[in-house]
Structure 1
Amino acid sequence: MINRSEVKIEETWDLTHLFQSDEAFEKALEEAKADTTKLVETFKGKISNVDSVVSVINDYQELYKKMIPIGTFANLALSVDQTNDAAQLRAAKVGQIMASISAETSFVTSELLELDEALLEEASKKAPEFSVMIQELIRKKPYQLHPEVEKALAAFGTTFDGPYELYNTTKLVDMKFDDFEVNGEKFPLSYNLFEGDWELEHDTEKRRAAFNAFSNKLKDYQHTTAKTYDMHLQTEKTNSDLRGYDSIFDSLLFNQQVDRSLYNRQIDIIMKELAPHMRRYAKLVQKVHGLDKMTFADLKIPLDPSYEPTISVEESRQYMKDGLSIMGEDYVNMLDRSFDERWIDFAQNKGKSTGAFCSSPYGHHPYILISWTSRMNEVFVLAHELGHAGHFYLAHQNQNIFNSRPSLYFIEAPSTMNEMLMANHLLKSSTDARFKRWVISTIIARTYYHNFVTHLLEAAYQRKVYEIIDQGGNVNASILNKLKKDVLEEFWGGEVEINDGAELTWMRQPHYYMGLYPYTYSAGLTIATQVYQRIQTEGSNAVEDWLKVLKAGGTKDPVELAKMAGVDITTEQPLKDTITFIGSLIDQLEELTAEIEN
């Protein structure tokens, strides 16, 4: 892996769109601190009537707008190179200042919630642009603590973020992988190389050797990583107890605007009803590859690796435009801008965050991180992240900063929708059986496996962890390993051997530091699958409804947003229909494989 300094500039994102220089960044930081002081002097202890309520929310909104690019710049600069000392120190400095600003401005929420609810309702009517924010405040009222406690908790913001930072430092800075050896030949290994290449390697001996080497290195850090995670869990438990939630689940689901029934349903039904379909898929992969047995280390390999084409970054642009053109001219223009203006960081380098993500700072264009491997399946990864980008590109244009971000429950629907649209485009582009099999197998292995299996199994494991924490317990590496292995064995049954090292999969995901996030992937994809099928039958009308949903941002809860798109998630039917759809895709794979073999 090369150093960040050796990466071609055209493969990197352009953070100067946030700040032209370090001087501009420092100036913005000083302005934010000065605006904080002014906000405190103007409003603290003086919020007493409708006019002052509207004024303080407006001024706080302006401060919030200034803080967003500051935090984004510091975090993005660090995400592409965790080994960069300057980026580390800048991110730490910004974290401390943000925590201080959060503490100083915590009076805004506290004083607003001390007011009579009727007065808040009146302010909501006078300034309807703030009504969503005010209604959300009222909803939080039962769980609000004394103003001085809220201020103290806000001041500890960076401390509470410490476990996540420690996790990333352990994973991306301290953890060094040695080369692994197969038949006397050595091969390089890193987090990004394993997850981007070796996990998909069609040579079974190399793939399994890479898995063993990768797992052995994870094992060296399992106790530190488990202790780090437990610190995070105990912080969440303490916060839940202090605020008076009935359980840690209720605390973590509160901001998602859904109850435990939707959360549990997603996990329970998929564990029971999707598992038979995925076991069938695993056996098909084993048969096609002629494997002696199907192990956990073999689950990510493509059905037909010799067929998968390579693709350049520039070629991916046309795929994005062709595959997502149904979304309209404005959306396609955004896709062009993302390439022309360098919104995307494609590079592979030491210290770069693993996986892919999209950051969408309000008032600025989105940024996408991806480590480009030139594999064709990266088209789906990029389409996914551009789905997030397109969502917030539209939401930010149509909503204020308080209204633009929807519930986490809904957040993965626009991204996975793009994967479905891309798959549909590819399927229509060829009648060749082998190509169709590649596309459908990629939908299964990338879109559904990743979101309905990988992340759902994280969610099932995570639920077991939180059940322990909710009862006042703690976790360590032995407990986490057992919980993870139990979930994997339950889902895969006897069809897949859960080999040594699979139990350490809990160490690989940062999602566990983001609350009840993993299950939302399957929730989002359930909505996306149903809307995608509606687009196939209704065309432009369904697309227009979907665009309205994206523009609505966070002005409605997940149930209402899904309803706008024609999906009723208050029932289990959309989820069951989606699982049936996945089963039909696997039917097609079996039929196409038989056709190809004959």
Structure 2
Amino acid sequence: MKSLPKRARVNEQETWNLRTLFENEQDYEQAVKNAEIEATAFEKNYKGTIVDSTSAILALDAYRRLQEKLVKISSYAELAASVDLTNDQAQMRESQFGSIAAKIASQTSFAMSELTELSEETLQQASKQSEEYATVFDKIIREKPHQLHPEVEKTLAAFSSSFQAPYSMYNTTKMADIDFPDFTAEGKVYPLSYVSFEGKWESEPKTPVRRAAFEMFSDTLRKYQHTTAKTYDMHVQMEKTTSDLRGYDSVIDYLLMEQDVDRSMYNRQIDVIMKELAPHMRKYAKLLQKIYGLNEMTFADLKMPIDPLYEPSITVEESKNYMNDALSVMGKDYLDMVNRAYSERSIDFAQNEGKSTGAFCASPYGNGSFILISWTGSMEDVFVLAHELGHAGHFHYANEAQNLFNSESSLYFIEAPSTMNEMLMANHLLKNSTDPKFKRWVLSSIVARTYYHNFVTHLLEAAFQRKVYERVDAGGNVNATILNNLKRGVLEEFWGDSVRMNDGAELTWMRQPHYYMGLYPYTYSAGLTISTEMAQRVLKEGKPAVEDWLHTLRAGGSKKPAELAKMAGIDITTDKPLRDTISYIGELIDEIEKLTKEIEAQ
């Protein structure tokens, strides 16, 4: 395996085409200037004018037009930087726009302050007058008690770029500063990077190679633990200060307000999964140990494939066929969106030095979606790409049907459309084979990728994150030692004595950017709970269920998470969908165990 190439040396056809946003640098810079002029004009024309429902609606119209331009500009700056954190020009462009955006946010903060100062009666009247902005006015009413004096809001907005600094510092440390050395296993030398570890070595079937990679990866991470911990502490302390200023009892309540989710729904996902999923996953870990004939199961072994011989190598071109076959149930319009993502180069497949790890989908309003993934050719990539295309499909429909303010659903729901696609992919693969080895491989892909990723990896992040915020709420800080102890404690609680924690398992908290995005980690399990139930409906009912789902996607952020789930025929105000999903995971593991006995008996 070769070291990663520089961005300039990768095949352009494997990169995304950001020229669909701006043809060249000159166009981008002109758009920034125009946005600055428009922000100044907005302040001049509307400051002090928002006095009744009619003027409120007029101001929101103008504010929305400005925000649509800013979304496009910020997306370009962020996306260009994300594919190469060693590119000074791209990094400077992103930083410079961050400062400009902060200035504009400060300039225009009066709009929200003046809207908040309107009486509740006037806001309700505005909500009735404008169906388009009803969600915005209802949210203002809800957050009214937590709005600060206009000058304080203006000051906080001016510092918005600084508030983003910890996330930028985290990414810079992770992608630009950390240099992983080669590692040696069984007398052979292998190159190591974030991308190669998470895309290959972490799931490498050869135990000496996998464990040696984990050891070197962890030893290298450990050198940066204090800087990364300080960065994270800075972030959570800023969140705590903001929540205190706004009069929230807890940082958690402050962050949940944005999601339209109450504390019980948040706690339920973490508490029920920690307790009731753990026995199933311990059983899965023991099954892996038996299949591989390991003396002991360690944390470094949990990502092993059940049967590596059934791991087909898949090209980018071949992945298109998988997407078309698996997602055809969603209808022609959905498939057209999927195929345009390939033909219009909206997906960045390339592996290169300095590229962000993992995968994401960015969907600037009115400009389609852009997907980042580092293609390694594994089946996991197919599931990940299906996942990201699920986000793209969601925004395709939501942006078409909703205005900018209503287009993005709550974080609680945001991972449902993406994980739904993973379920559709798995169902398609299962339906097309009777071979017990292939069936076992598909079922283990669902458990080891879809559910492990969302119900274990991200859920354990959420359990860890909750402990961090509880500490911060009590007036405490965190450092590397505390974060390591908290993470190790969560891992040991979940895995019990079925898995030994290697040195380095506790450093897993260093690997995820989600901690800088509010209460994001737990929402993966919430979304997958909804999509598991929905996928079962699609399997049983076909087109009527698909129509319900597409109708739900079109609603975007115009409804609360519980209302969106209800549109899809799912009641998440109870714990039944979550417990049904956990039972389903248990059934999958039981079926894998049964197939393993059948295969071994042959």
Tell me the amino acid that sits aligned with residue 214 of structure 2: F
Q: How does 1:428-447 map to 2 (within 5 A)?
A: 428-447=431-450
Partner of 1:484: 487
The CA deviation at 1:476 is 0.5
- Aligned partners of 1:86, 1:567: CA distance in 2, in Å? 47
CA contact (8 A) 2:84 2:355 kept: yes
The CA deviation at 1:123 is 2.0
Deviations along 1:380-407, one digit per CA (max 9) or x if unpaired, are 1000000000000110000000111110
- Aligned partners of 1:321, 1:531: CA distance in 2, in Å? 20
- Aligned partners of 1:118, 1:453: CA distance in 2, in Å? 46
TM superposition outliers: structure 1 runs of 4+ over 3 Å: none
Q: How does 1:277-426 map to 2 (within 5 A)?
A: 277-426=280-429
Deviations along 1:38-84, one digit per CA (max 9) or x if unpaired, are 10010101211232111110000100110011000000000000010
Partner of 2:265: 262
Tell me the amino acid that sits aligned with residue 584 of structure 1: E
Provide the secondary structure at the position in 2 that maps to 1:358: strand
Partner of 1:152: 155
Partner of 2:465: 462
Provide the secondary structure at the position in 1 that maps to 2:371: strand
Provide the secondary structure at the position in 1 that maps to 2:306: coil
Partner of 1:61: 64
Count matched residues: 598
Provide the secondary structure at the position in 2 that maps to 1:406: coil
- Aligned partners of 1:423, 1:133: CA distance in 2, in Å? 38
- Choose which of 113, 120, 137 in structure 1 pairs with 2:116: 113
- Aligned partners of 1:551, 1:277: CA distance in 2, in Å? 35
Note if 1:551 corresponds to 2:515.
Answer: no
- Choose which of 78, 83, 102 in structure 1 pairs with 2:81: 78
Partner of 2:574: 571
- Aligned partners of 1:133, 1:350: CA distance in 2, in Å? 42
Deviations along 1:544-575, one digit per CA (max 9) or x if unpaired, are 10110000000100000001111111111110
Partner of 2:238: 235
Tell me the amino acid that sits aligned with residue 563 of structure 2: E
Note if 1:178 corresponds to 2:181.
Answer: yes
Partner of 1:45: 48
Tell me the amino acid that sits aligned with residue 391 of structure 2: H
Q: How does 1:194-233 map to 2 (within 5 A)?
A: 194-233=197-236
Deviations along 1:429-469, one digit per CA (max 9) or x if unpaired, are 11111111111000000000000000000001111111100
Instruction: Name whichever of 44-53 and 352-361 sits farther off.
Output: 44-53
- Aligned partners of 1:94, 1:266: CA distance in 2, in Å? 37
- Aligned partners of 1:182, 1:329: CA distance in 2, in Å? 49
TM-score by length of 1: 0.99
- Choose which of 92, 95, 105 in structure 2 pairs with 1:102: 105
The CA deviation at 1:183 is 2.9
The CA deviation at 1:127 is 2.0
Note if 1:6 corresponds to 2:2.
Answer: no
The CA deviation at 1:125 is 2.2
- Aligned partners of 2:205, 2:46: CA distance in 1, in Å? 63
TM-score by length of 2: 0.99
- Choose which of 127, 130, 143 in structure 2 pairs with 1:127: 130
- Aligned partners of 1:261, 1:120: CA distance in 2, in Å? 29
Return 5+ residue gaps in structure 1 as ranges: none
The CA deviation at 1:214 is 0.2
- Choose which of 506, 510, 514 in structure 2 pairs with 1:507: 510
Note if 1:538 corresponds to 2:548.
Answer: no
Partner of 2:196: 193
Tell me the amino acid that sits aligned with residue 591 of structure 1: K
Tell me the amino acid that sits aligned with residue 297 of structure 1: A
Tell me the amino acid that sits aligned with residue 464 of structure 1: K
- Aligned partners of 2:375, 2:21: CA distance in 1, in Å? 24
CA contact (8 A) 2:319 2:382 kept: yes
Provide the secondary structure at the position in 2 that maps to 1:368: strand
- Aligned partners of 1:410, 1:38: CA distance in 2, in Å? 36
- Aligned partners of 1:169, 1:176: CA distance in 2, in Å? 12
Note if 1:474 corresponds to 2:477.
Answer: yes
Provide the secondary structure at the position in 2 that maps to 1:324: helix
Deviations along 1:12-53, one digit per CA (max 9) or x if unpaired, are 000000001111101100110000011001010121123211
Superposed CA RMSD in Å reads: 0.7
Tell me the amino acid that sits aligned with residue 358 of structure 2: G
Tell me the amino acid that sits aligned with residue 546 of structure 1: W
Deviations along 1:147-192, one digit per CA (max 9) or x if unpaired, are 0000000000111111110000000000001101123321100000
- Aligned partners of 2:252, 2:264: CA distance in 1, in Å? 11
- Aligned partners of 1:218, 1:450: CA distance in 2, in Å? 21
Tell me the amino acid that sits aligned with residue 559 of structure 2: K
CA contact (8 A) 2:186 2:209 kept: no
- Aligned partners of 1:41, 1:201: CA distance in 2, in Å? 60
Note if 1:427 corresponds to 2:425.
Answer: no
The CA deviation at 1:538 is 1.5
Deviations along 1:469-517, one digit per CA (max 9) or x if unpaired, are 0001001000000000011001000000011000000000000111111
Deviations along 1:222-242, one digit per CA (max 9) or x if unpaired, are 011000100001000000000
- Aligned partners of 1:271, 1:521: CA distance in 2, in Å? 14
Tell me the amino acid that sits aligned with residue 420 of structure 1: M
Provide the secondary structure at the position in 2 that maps to 1:568: coil
Partner of 1:518: 521
The CA deviation at 1:116 is 1.6
- Aligned partners of 1:112, 1:571: CA distance in 2, in Å? 35
Tell me the amino acid that sits aligned with residue 388 of structure 1: H
CA contact (8 A) 2:186 2:208 kept: no
- Aligned partners of 1:52, 1:486: CA distance in 2, in Å? 54
Note if 1:168 corresponds to 2:171.
Answer: yes
Note if 1:137 corresponds to 2:140.
Answer: yes
Deviations along 1:261-308, one digit per CA (max 9) or x if unpaired, are 001110000000000000000011111111121000000010001221
Partner of 2:583: 580
Q: Percent identity?
A: 63
